[in-house]
Amino acid sequence: MKIQSIIVEDLQVAADFLKRFCEKCGVVEVIHHFLNAEDALHYLKDNVVDLIFLDVEMPGVSGFELLDQLVYTPQVILTTSKTEYAYNAFQYNVTDYLKKPFTYQRFLEAIQKVSKKSEQENGNAEQDHLFIKSDGKLIRLHNDDILFIESMGDYVKFITPSKKYITHNTIKNLETKVNPQVFMKVHRSYIVNFTKINDIQENVLFINGNMIPISKTHKSGVMQKINII
Amino acid sequence: MYNEEQKISFRFSPELDVDFLQELYGDDFQQAEMIFESSAQQLRTELSLAEARFHDGDIPGLKKAVHKIKPLFGYIGLNKIMSEFAAFEQECAQANEPASVETGFQHMRMIAAEALQKVDNEIKRLKQHNTQYL
């Protein structure tokens, strides 16, 4: 599967140059090119990509400001004509930093870093995120963003603070796939992120104002899991 | 008939940074032609914009235009001019009044015009070379 990417670059020539390299290497697909960060941000609110080729200095919102506003963390290759941003690049933990114009060889090195990082992340996938298929696309949800998962028959609903995602799956199936260090089943219809529990009253727990029942069979498990002082 | 040996026969003009261009484009002269053409086009647009900003006395606007112009020289093998524009961008960042960047701007205008001539010539050469294989 190709690396799904977007280019955020106000210089058309630089974007054309990069697109050609992406085509040439055969492993990177450029889904969109945005001439400014605002349009890219708008797109990234509803769409998940693996990689962003990101210019730093653009009119309006800068590349770093875009990274500040992202709700998830795809891999990022900064493309800039200045070397002064290297320290910031390090701070933002970007995958690589390409000084424009860059050679095909240098581009390939950056893509290799992306693949390597991606392999490492997939190896740790159980630990910090999962992918769900919703609205015809694969969406990466970080464990920390998921409040709880609710059964809806043959479907489940992933509840995050900002959005609800419905996907074709069952609680029973998910129970074995989510990270047990973060999630636990508390009822036949609910899996919760127990780091998000606000309070527990009798056989009900509360997460962000949502009331979730705890079944008798799972009550002792819940009580063992939470840290009672 | 297509000839693989002829394919690599193109040599960039010695007035450009040949080694760098060779590294940048390899034997993909179609890409070189495309990028040279769009660079020349965008250079003209951005230089007009820089000219307008300079006449308006808008130094931050001029700096932005210069920032955008700068890497374009890199794609056409004029790295020395790219460095000169980088220095001028720095000059704009430190300038307090339009008069202080005037000499620098005149110089940039002159070297950019020379650069555009070189690029136009190279585009002609690239086109001539690439059409042989159509």
CB-nearest to A103 from B23, B42, B72 is B23
pLDDT grade, residue A180 (50/70/90)? confident
| Number of neighbours of residue A85 by Cβ within 10 angstroms | 21
Nearest C-alpha neighbor of B46 from the set B67, B29, B76, B27: B67
Q: Judge whether residue B22 has pLDDT over 60.
A: yes
Phi-psi region of B130 (alpha: psi -120 to 50; beta: other; left: phi over 0): alpha
Does the model's pTM come out above 0.90? no
Q: Which chain B residues contact residue A20 at CB under 8 A?
A: 28, 31, 34-35
Domains and CATH numbers, chain A: 3-122 (3.40.50.2300), 125-225 (2.40.50.1020)
Interface residues of B toward A, Cβ cutoff 8 Å, are: 23-24, 26, 28, 31, 34-35, 38-39, 42, 64, 67-68, 70-72, 74-75, 86
- Cβ contact B89:B66 at 8 Å: yes
* Closest CA in chain B for residue A103: B24
Q: What is the mean pLDDT of residues A157-168?
A: 92
CB contact under 8 A, B38 and A13: yes
Taking the CA of residue A80 and the nearest CA in chain B, the distance in Å comes to 9
Tens of pLDDT, residue by residue over A122-156, are 665 556 888 887 777 778 889 999 999 999 988 99
Residue contact B71–A81, C-beta within 8 A:
yes
Query: What is the distance in angstroms between the Cα of A198 and the nearest Cα belonging to chain B?
Result: 49
Structure tokens that stand for A9 in this block: 């670059």
Within 8 A by CB and 6+ apart from A187, the residues are A212, A213, A214, A215, A218
Flag if A14 and B71 touch (Cβ within 8 Å): yes
What is the pLDDT of chain B when averaged over all its residues? 91
Cα B62 → chain centroid: 17
**Does residue A78 sit at the B interface (CB-CB below 8 Å)?**
no
ipTM of the complex: 0.83
Lowest mean pLDDT: which of A21-35, A76-90, B80-94? A76-90
Distance CA A100, CA A82 (A): 8
Question: Which residues on A lie below 8 Å from B71 (Cβ)?
Answer: 11, 14, 81, 100-101
H-assigned helices in chain B = 4-7, 18-25, 29-56, 59-75, 79-94, 102-131
Q: Which of residues 8-47 of A touch B (CB under 8 A)?
A: 10-14, 16-17, 20, 24
Q: What is the pLDDT of residues A30-86, one digit of tens each?
A: 999 999 999 999 998 888 899 999 999 888 888 989 998 887 778 999 998 877 777
Domain B26-127 belongs in CATH node 1.10.10: no
Residue A120 has pLDDT above 90, yes or no: no
CA distance A75 to A53: 9
Q: Which residue does chain A place closest to B70, by CA atoms?
A: A81
What does residue A56 show for φ and ψ, rounded to 5 degrees? -90, -55
